[in-house]
Amino acid sequence: MTDQPREGTLQSTAVLTEQTDPAGIEPGDGAAAEAAAGPRAKARTLRRMLRQPVTLFCLAMLLLQVVLALGAPLIAPYDPAAPNVANKLQGPSGDHWLGTDDLGRDTLSRIIYGTRTALLASTESVAIGLVLGVGLGLFVGYRGGWWDRIGMRIADVMQSIPALLLALALVAVLGSGLGNAMLAVGLIFAVSFMRITRAVVLAEREKLYVDAARVLGLRSSGIMLRQVLPNVSPPLIVQASIALGTALLIEATLSFLGVGIDATQVSWGAMLDASRQHVSEHPLLAILPGAAITLSVLAFNLLGDGLRDAGSPRSAPRAGSGKKAKLPIVSTPVPSPDDALLRVDGLTVTDRNGAQLISDVSFHIKRGETFGVVGESGCGKSITAAAILGLLPKGVTIAGGSIRLEDSELAGLSGEALRQVRGKRIGMVFQDPGSALSPVHTVGRQLTDAIRAHSGLSKAEAHDRAAELLTLVGVPNPQERLKDYPHQFSGGMAQRVVIAGALACDPELLIADEPTTALDVTIQAQVLDLLASLRERLQMSLLIITHDLGVVADSCDRVAVMYAGQIVEQRSVEDAFAEPKHPYTEALLAAVPHSETDGEPLATIPGRVPPAWAWPQGCRFNPRCPYATDDCRTGTVPADADGVRCLRVTELQLAGAR
Ligand SMILES: Nc1ncnc2c1ncn2[C@@H]1O[C@H](COP(=O)(O)OP(=O)(O)OP(=O)(O)O)[C@@H](O)[C@H]1O
């Protein structure tokens, strides 16, 4: 494979034309209405903030402090450290608006310079906390496993130490000075930033757009920094604001105790300390720095609260499942022609308890062929696709069999070798376009990232290619739409963008897992037509995973029917649908609604697919099969030449599609 498109690949204009409004929203498609992420969410947060007078007031106060801190030498009327004993302990006057202290220094100037120390110290510690905490949180959250467990135990220990105590200890060891003290505070902050980052990463890494980025061949570090990190910023901004207030208070406390600043610096805490002896005659000396500290801490905290209220919560992680019980693998030689692009042989995948999620799965896909895998939920379709892509969930592993893409063995491939296959030779289209695209980046950025991950194209070239891809998948105004965020696309248009992303590096095989399930019925047909048209133009092979026999009938050449982790029938769509050989295929066909069945109750298959740890003995379909005999309940059922796993295959006359 080369990095360049195959000849004749991308010269097309729109493959399909749809009636769209200027925003690309198809009639009847409600998906665009939601997806409140990206700039729309930011705008909403901003609007809510503008409606919170307290938050705005705090923001204004903090901005004023920043101006005072930065402009202190220009704004302060006197040198804050220059003593003038002749003027000591004076009340407010025209010369000294807020009076002078016991050494005759101007109180106003000292308050202004104190702002500088306070902001500098708190920014330093929060910056240390953010850099360390976010880095560690991203790492342990994304890597998980032992890294996560060890990281969290250390975090527990660190969090049990009060920040002030650690600061005092560090000052005792490293010597006094605000830098050392704030380093200690930064270390404690790092723990809470790490926890927040980790929690968001744990939720985000389960999302489809992260899988999609991996399928597109992006490196883990790139995925963490570009895809996951932006999702962490909203809670971090809130936490950082509150931490700034805490740090300011700690700086003031340390300076009050005399272990923070040195003699040349001015701090509100030190001003408070110095005022103690004169507080009864000159209360202003204590009130002014005290008020500055109180108001600043309050402003930071209330700003944090306001930001939290204005922002919206993000989604929760997906739950996992699965338990034990080992079943025997029945190895079946599967005839696969030499021209097969993909050959899966005897593939068995187990979970961490040894339960077989799929057993002895064998099939092949020829070049230019569309192959369907169909079955109810929980039959193992997605695990099969994930095994091919090297994207099995944590704890789930390939226990046997092989997956060959032409001459390359994919089973057991990892790291760079796997990255070279994913997104380069195999593309993936996920079920829900809304979650397969990162909400925080424009479509153009996501497509160019995918293109550049495998090609030596420059940014500008990748941008042009992204526009070509959008044209190819029938997205109108591609140059304009590249600037849009995913939520600005309707469901159908977003799925076209996902397909464009999957085509970014001109794959030989495109895997589409329930590509139309999340879409309106009218849009479903358009997306299927698009896939068929792309297959022909780009001479790709297509693997379509679906629970919908209609999708198989419309788009596939051959089909594998999966039940309880096994393929139970594997034939041309025409044959399998006209004369099914496995009772499960017959039952699935009977459950498809038809015009002739209008008014009749819809046929259903009694019972449900058992969980992987409880696949039945014998034929796995036997508890739900109307034709099952005692023989079907024991032993193992091998697959015949048509891949049919039924002991009664020769005697049964099953009904085909109506
Ligand atoms: N992460 C996991 N850990 C353990 N078991 C899992 C995991 N994911 C899926 N399984 C189990 O593997 C079996 C096959 O699931 P799979 O998701 O492949 O089915 P499916 O046919 O694709 O269903 P759906 O259409 O709902 O996605 C099921 O028993 C399921 O519970």
Question: CA-to-CA distance for 354 and 360, rounded, in angstroms?
Answer: 15
Are 49 and 55 within 8 A, CB to CB?
A: yes
- pLDDT at residue 177 is higher than 80: no
Inside any domain, residue 1: no
- pLDDT at residue 321 is higher than 60: no
84: left (phi over 0), alpha (psi -120 to 50) or beta: beta
229 Cα to the center of ligand 1, angstroms: 28
Mean pLDDT over residues 638-644, rounded?
88
Residue with tokens 């097309």: 12
ipTM, 2 dp: 0.96
Question: CA-to-CA distance for 128 and 188, rounded, in angstroms?
Answer: 10
216 vs 102 pLDDT, higher one: 102
Mean pLDDT over residues 614-626, rounded?
93
Question: CA-to-CA distance for 504 and 512, rounded, in angstroms?
Answer: 15
564 Cα to the center of ligand 1, angstroms: 10
Nearest residue to 405 (alpha-carbon basis) of 353, 466, 344: 344
Inside any domain, residue 163: yes
Residue 18's pLDDT band (cuts 50, 70, 90): very low
Mean pLDDT over residues 40-64, rounded?
81
- pLDDT at residue 571 is higher than 80: yes
* Cβ neighbourhood burial of 428 (10 Å; 0-12, 13-18, 19+): buried
- What's the order of all strands across the beta sheet hosting 340-350? 356-366, 340-350, 397-405, 408-409
Inside any domain, residue 422: no
Which of 90-94, 257-261, 349-353 shows the lowest per-residue confidence on average (mean pLDDT)? Answer: 257-261
Question: CA-to-CA distance for 284 and 288, rounded, in angstroms?
Answer: 6
Inside any domain, residue 179: yes
Question: CA-to-CA distance for 25 and 31, rounded, in angstroms?
Answer: 9
Inside any domain, residue 472: no
Token code pair at residue 500: 């464009």
| Backbone torsions φ then ψ of 114, nearest 5 degrees | -60, -35
Give the per-residue pLDDT at 178. 78
Token code pair at residue 254: 């340390």
649 vs 174 pLDDT, higher one: 649
Residue 337's pLDDT band (cuts 50, 70, 90): low
| Structural domain that includes position 305 | 53-76+107-310
Give the per-residue pLDDT at 36. 40
Give the domain CATH number at 68.
Answer: 1.10.3720.10
Counting other chains too, the contacts that 104-110 makes at CB distance below 8 Å and 24 or more residues apart are 105/78, 105/80, 105/81, 106/76, 106/77, 106/78, 106/80, 107/271, 107/284, 107/285, 107/288, 108/76, 108/77, 108/78, 109/76, 109/77, 109/78, 109/79, 109/80, 110/80, 110/266, 110/271
Residue 146's pLDDT band (cuts 50, 70, 90): confident
Could you read off the pLDDT of 424-473 as tens digits, one per residue? 789 888 877 877 888 888 999 999 988 888 777 888 989 998 998 898 88
Site residues for ligand 1, CB cut-off 6 Å: 320-322, 351, 357, 375, 377-383, 393, 396, 547, 611-612
Give the per-residue pLDDT at 75. 92
304 vs 328 pLDDT, higher one: 304
**Ligand 1 nearest-atom number relative to CA 396:** 3
- pLDDT at residue 37 is higher than 80: no
377 Cα to the center of ligand 1, angstroms: 8
- pLDDT at residue 224 is higher than 90: no
51 Cα to the center of ligand 1, angstroms: 46
Inside any domain, residue 286: yes
pTM value is 0.61
395: left (phi over 0), alpha (psi -120 to 50) or beta: left
DSSP label of 319: P
Give the per-residue pLDDT at 397. 92
- pLDDT at residue 255 is higher than 50: yes
Give the per-residue pLDDT at 195. 86
Residue 233: other Cβ atoms inside 10 A? 14
Mean pLDDT over residues 483-506, rounded?
88
Which of 105-109, 179-183, 190-194 shows the lowest per-residue confidence on average (mean pLDDT)? Answer: 179-183
**Ligand 1 nearest-atom number relative to CA 514:** 25
How many H-runs (helices) and E-runs (strands) does the chain carry? 23, 10
Question: CA-to-CA distance for 222 and 216, rounded, in angstroms?
Answer: 12
> Length of the chain, please?
658
- pLDDT at residue 14 is higher than 60: no
Give the per-residue pLDDT at 31. 31
Handedness of CA 75, 77, 78, 80 (dihedral sign): negative
12 vs 213 pLDDT, higher one: 213
Q: Which residues pair with 403 in a beta bridge?
A: 344
Total domains in the chain come to 1
Q: Please enumerate in sequence order all residues whose Cβ is within 8 A of that of 135, keeping only pairs 6 or more positions apart, or say none.
A: none
Question: CA-to-CA distance for 31 and 17, rounded, in angstroms?
Answer: 19
- pLDDT at residue 27 is higher than 80: no
User: Ligand 1: which of 383, 398, 511, 546 to mutate, most ligand atoms within 8 Å of CB?
Assistant: 383
Mean predicted lDDT score pLDDT of the chain: 81
Q: Which residues pair with 96 in a beta bridge?
A: none
392 Cα to the center of ligand 1, angstroms: 10
For residue 222, the one-letter residue type is: G
B/e letters for 347-356, b = 16+ CB within 10 Å, e = fewer, are bbbbbeeebb
Residue 145: other Cβ atoms inside 10 A? 10
Which residue is closest in CA terms to ligand 1's atom 29? 612
357 Cα to the center of ligand 1, angstroms: 7
Inside any domain, residue 101: no
Which residue is closest in CA terms to ligand 1's atom 12? 357
User: Ligand 1: which of 374, 381, 513 to mutate, most ligand atoms within 8 Å of CB?
Assistant: 381
Which residue is closest in CA terms to ligand 1's atom 28? 378
- pLDDT at residue 381 is higher than 70: yes
Mean pLDDT over residues 133-138, rounded?
90
Inside any domain, residue 245: yes
- pLDDT at residue 30 is higher than 50: no
Residue 331's pLDDT band (cuts 50, 70, 90): very low
Nearest residue to 445 (alpha-carbon basis) of 266, 182, 218, 288: 218
88: left (phi over 0), alpha (psi -120 to 50) or beta: beta
Counting other chains too, the contacts that 593-602 makes at CB distance below 8 Å and 24 or more residues apart are 594/658, 596/658, 597/658
Give the per-residue pLDDT at 594. 66
Could you read off the pLDDT of 280-299 as tens digits, one per residue? 888 888 999 999 999 999 99
